[in-house]
Chains A and B, each alone.
Chain A
Amino acid sequence: MTAVPTGHRHPSNPVLSLKDAALGFGDRVLWDNLTLDVCAGEFLAVLGPNGSGKTSLLKTILGQQALDTGSIRFDGHAVRRGDRRIGYIPQQKLIPGGTPMRGRDLVALGVNGHRFGLPVSRGAERRQVDALLESVGASGYADEPVGNLSGGEQQRLRVGQALAGDPRMLLCDEPLLSLDLQHQRGVSELIDRRRRDHGTPVVFVTHDVNPVLGMVDRILYLAGGQFREGTPDEVLRSEVLTELYGTPVDVLRTGGRVVVVGIPDSETHHHHHGHGEN
């Protein structure tokens, strides 16, 4: 499939395709020989401890970090910086009170925030912003100052912002971090609905798979310079993660939740200095 040279989109063509990709910093390998296709309609969760290269993978997809070896293609072409066909939903960073922006302005940045020229918005753009606000259920606080909104409300607006311009793929960087359970569900359902309604594939980086467990098709689990890839049932197993971590790890399933016990502390705290892991 990756041999198809350029251009024409075909249903079976992967939207995102990594081939023999490797990335490391100094003498530390984050991942190596990573070959991965993400096709239309797929929900891929990227899991792993801090410093395992989740954020670096994300930067690679965004064209902000070059691979050491191998290739990465989006929609048949090499990835590039600032590709507006990728909708990017960042970690929830609370916007401070007093920011001179209303809910609708945050969404509008997704529509025309990249455009230079006099800041006069056209009628069509305003209608598009209204439609996006509606689609993420944020019309009720569209005119509130963003700094007065809760983290969950701000994150809904960010989803609306990412959906502007009809993205071909959604890239999510821990978008549920520090949200309460109700907002975790609300925001993840918005992302999943876009996938189901438009076939937009989702790459979802997270340290906790549980809020999206029911939506995930495949998991890419990164740890200690290696990775495992497969369905949740294939990857989230004691023997698989024990092998990956090189130390006994237990995967417990309880009440529809997955709990991973015994991940070594050194993995979570020790490797992540200075590589952009948040």
Chain B
Amino acid sequence: MPPWKLASAVDDGIWSRLFNFENYGELLGLVQNSILAGAILGVVGGLIGVFVMQRDMAFAVHGISELSFAGAAAALLFGFNVVAGSLAGALAASIAIGLLGSKARDRNSIIGVLMPFGLGLGILFLALYPGRSANKFGLLTGQIISVDDPQLTWLSVISLIVLVGLLLIWRPLSFDSLDADVAAARGVPTRFVSLAFMVLLGLIIAVSVQIIGALLVLALVVTPAAAALRLSASPIVVPVIAMLFGFVSAVGGILLAIGGSLPISPYITTISFVLYLIARVVGLRTRPRAGLR
């Protein structure tokens, strides 16, 4: 067989593994709770991402998700609830970062120290875990389809708590994110606000780890907001676009993935990345930002 024929045969196999819509309606019914959880996570992840960008905390997001992975892996090994383990790891990391790293440089070095430690611990726990290997990989690369319904409910409830919490501290958090010194002088309890933000961030990261995997959390917590910021500077339009992009990435990814046999994460990350690319191109055309200072 000539090489191009060989290549096309391989392609056929890959395509049917990537996208397969047989019995789609039936599958859809089975995963509707996953879709709901993904939708809420996408919206809340997009929203909190706006503050992650303003506070320059993308690296912190990645660090917290590795600690969350370690917590989940420990829970798996010792037979606890995996979501609880994930939450414990994420909160421990986010609170530690919030308490120790008020300056960006301190913060980054703390994260740089914590992250490999957490990842290493997680790998140790997984190596010791005797169960199915699909569970192992799931924590790193996403496993929403294998999360059971009671846990999905928990993930949705936690996401909603984050949403409400974020709306309640919105103004003081915006003030603190823009100029912490002035905010403190003008009556914002900046320490409380920063710590509350870190707790909310830890919660949403723990949820993301369950759905998209520890390595890919940034695709839902940073990319949609980064894309939105290319398109607008309005304090209302940016969060709305970020939430929309997060929603489209999460739900779109799940819908494309369920027919095939692959993890959902690459679908979510790809949609999220493509939206970012489009936003960059559109942003260049509508908002010439250079030379205006």
Residues of A within 8 A of B (CB): 62, 64, 81-84, 86, 88, 90, 93-95, 97-102, 105-106, 109-110, 112-119, 145-148, 150-151, 158, 161, 171
A-B CB proximity, top 5 nearest: A145-B233, A113-B175, A82-B187, A88-B185, A119-B170
Q: By the criterion CB–CB under 8 Å, are A113 and B233 in contact? A: no
Residues of B within 8 A of A (CB): 50, 54, 167-172, 174-175, 178-179, 181-189, 229-230, 232-235, 238-239, 289, 292-293
Q: By the criterion CB–CB under 8 Å, are A90 and B178 in contact? A: no
Q: By the criterion CB–CB under 8 Å, are A113 and B174 in contact? A: yes
Kindly state the separation between the CA atoms of A84 and B238 in the bound complex, as whole angstroms. Answer: 29
Measured between beta carbons, the chain A residues less than 8 angstroms from B170 are 118-119
Q: By the criterion CB–CB under 8 Å, are A119 and B167 in contact? A: yes
Q: By the criterion CB–CB under 8 Å, are A100 and B184 in contact? A: no
Q: By the criterion CB–CB under 8 Å, are A100 and B232 in contact? A: yes
Measured between beta carbons, the chain A residues less than 8 angstroms from B54 are 99-100
Kindly state the separation between the CA atoms of A151 and B169 in the bound complex, as whole angstroms. Answer: 28
Kindly state the separation between the CA atoms of A45 and B189 in the bound complex, as whole angstroms. Answer: 29
Known: A100-B233, A105-B235, A148-B289. A113 touches B171 (CB 8 A): yes
**B207 to nearest A CB, angstroms?**
23
Known: A81-B184, A148-B289. A102 touches B235 (CB 8 A): yes
Known: A95-B178, A112-B171, A117-B168. A62 touches B233 (CB 8 A): no
17 A–B contacts from the bound complex (CB under 8 Å): A62-B185, A82-B184, A82-B189, A98-B233, A98-B289, A99-B233, A100-B50, A100-B235, A105-B174, A109-B171, A109-B174, A109-B175, A113-B186, A116-B168, A118-B170, A150-B293, A158-B182
Q: By the criterion CB–CB under 8 Å, are A86 and B185 in contact? A: yes
Measured between beta carbons, the chain B residues less than 8 angstroms from A106 are 178
Q: Which of A94, A114, A117 contacts B186 (CB 8 A)?
A: A114
Measured between beta carbons, the chain B residues less than 8 angstroms from A100 are 50, 54, 229, 232-235, 238-239
Measured between beta carbons, the chain A residues less than 8 angstroms from B289 are 97-98, 147-148
